[in-house]
């Protein structure tokens, strides 16, 4: 059985005082290092200190595929791991659409993360028009294949996949559990073809308008192994509810 994760993607949100308030209210009952948060890069250090007591692991929303050098505005993987980051979200649809990240860029980041022991959460997902044109499977599996080019794994915990249909992100309109499971099964088959038995153990998260009211239904699907959550991860009570559902 793949491990279950609840991952908060805070995007470009949260002031310092909101972060302090969040962690002061965060009381998690069960924890197996599977509750993760990705704050803005400038808040990573603060969050690592505050999250340690709560038992939450911290990661980045993005990283550079390059070694140290002249790359203004970027974060080196070595600097992130030095701070104590555990993972990085890679290829989020906002990075793809707003910052022009290509599948090739994303693949370089995935390879660099695995090489350096930072767990990449590789995000893939179709737009509304792609879904309406019946292209979901082709788009998602193409992004997955390209993102995982030349990737080799020693074990399943080195990689996480997140299926995030673009039309469900921040819209309040989640995919149904059946829609999510259908795509997660297609992803699972590709992971199995590529990595054999290890592919059966890689966690596949669902993201897109996950909230306390729909999380249990989504997590009841056999191939939905957790959530990557934006809006509903920003408040402690809501994040705790999501984590509790993930522990059941």
Q: Is 92 an active-site residue?
A: yes
Work out how close the CB of 166 gets to ligand 13P at its nearest, in angstroms, rounded to a whole number: 9
Whether 4 contacts 203, CB under 8 Å = yes
Residue among 23 and 239 whose Cβ is closer to ligand 13P: 239
Backbone angles phi, psi at 226, to 5 degrees: 135, -175
Q: Is 164 an active-site residue?
A: yes
Residue among 6 and 198 whose Cβ is closer to ligand 13P: 6
Work out how close the CB of 72 gets to ligand 13P at its nearest, in angstroms, rounded to a whole number: 25
| Marked catalytic residue, from 92, 94, 126, 184 | 92
Residue among 109 and 198 whose Cβ is closer to ligand 13P: 109
Work out how close the CB of 3 gets to ligand 13P at its nearest, in angstroms, rounded to a whole number: 19
Residues that bind ligand 13P (CB under 6 A): 9, 92, 164, 169-170, 207-210, 228-232
Work out how close the CB of 240 gets to ligand 13P at its nearest, in angstroms, rounded to a whole number: 16
Could you tell me which residues are beta bridge partners of residue 206?
163, 227
Could you tell me which residues are beta bridge partners of residue 58?
37
Closest residue by Cα to residue 88 from 69, 67, 111: 111
Could you give the residue ranges of the DSSP H alpha helices within 56-120?
Answer: 77-83, 93-99, 103-116
Q: Can you say how many angstroms the Cα of residue 90 is from the centroid of all Cα atoms in its chain?
A: 8
5-34: b (≥16 Cβ within 10 Å) or e: bbbbbbbeebeeeebeebbeebebeeeeeb
C-beta neighbour count of 132 within 10 angstroms: 11
Residue among 43 and 195 whose Cβ is closer to ligand 13P: 43
| Marked catalytic residue, from 126, 156, 164, 181 | 164
User: Looking at the annotation, which residues are catalytic?
Assistant: 92, 164
């Amino acid at each position: 059985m793949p491990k279950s994760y609840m991952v908060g993607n805070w995007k470009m949100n949260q002031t310092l005082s909101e972060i302090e308030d969040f962690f002061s209210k965060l009381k998690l009952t069960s924890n197996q290092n599977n509750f993760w948060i990705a704050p803005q890069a400038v808040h990573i250090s603060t969050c690592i200190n505050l999250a340690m007591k709560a038992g939450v692991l911290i990661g980045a929303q993005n990283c550079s595929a390059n070694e140290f050098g002249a790359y203004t505005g970027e974060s080196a993987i070595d600097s992130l791991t030095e701070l104590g980051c555990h993972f990085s979200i890679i290829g989020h649809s906002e990075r793809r659409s707003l910052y022009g990240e290509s599948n090739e860029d994303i693949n370089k980041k995935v390879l660099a993360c695995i090489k350096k022991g930072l767990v990449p959460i590789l995000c893939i997902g179709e737009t509304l028009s792609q879904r309406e044109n019946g292209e979901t499977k082709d788009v998602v599996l193409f992004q997955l294949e390209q993102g995982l080019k030349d990737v080799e794994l020693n074990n399943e915990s080195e990689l996480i996949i997140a299926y995030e249909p673009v039309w469900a992100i921040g819209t309040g309109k989640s995919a149904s559990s059946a829609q999510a499971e259908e795509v997660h099964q297609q992803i699972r088959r590709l992971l199995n073809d590529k990595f054999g038995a290890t592919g059966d153990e890689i966690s596949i998260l669902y993201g897109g308008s996950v909230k306390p009211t729909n999380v249990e239904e989504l997590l009841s699907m056999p191939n939905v192994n957790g959530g990557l959550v934006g809006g509903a991860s920003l408040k402690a009570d809501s994040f705790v509810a999501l984590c509790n559902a993930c522990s059941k």
